[in-house]
Amino acid sequence: MLDDKKATGHEQWRKVEIGRLYKVTLSKHIAPFGQDIIKSMAAQAGVSKKVFYKACGKR
């Protein structure tokens, strides 16, 4: 499960799965993000874009 860690204008999403840490740090100041950036962030998180969107509260 993705866990939202917030700190000073950035969100840090972390997940540990089978002993591996996945982490994505976002800057809300540059949102909205392009599809290529979203795809990259999802890959860094070890999930699909669909799962990434759901964790971020998007449908």
Tell me the per-residue pLDDT of 19-43, one tens digit each, with 9 for 90 and over.
999 888 877 777 788 889 889 988 9
Res 49 pLDDT > 70: yes
State the pLDDT confidence band at 14, using cuts at 50, 70 and 90.
Answer: confident
DSSP state of 52: H
What pTM was computed for the model? Answer: 0.65
Annotate 12-37 with b (16+ C-beta within 10 A) or e (fewer). Answer: ebebeeeeeeeebebeeeeeeeeeee
Res 58 pLDDT > 70: no
Tell me the average pLDDT across 49-54. 87
CB atoms closer than 10 angstroms to residue 47 = 20
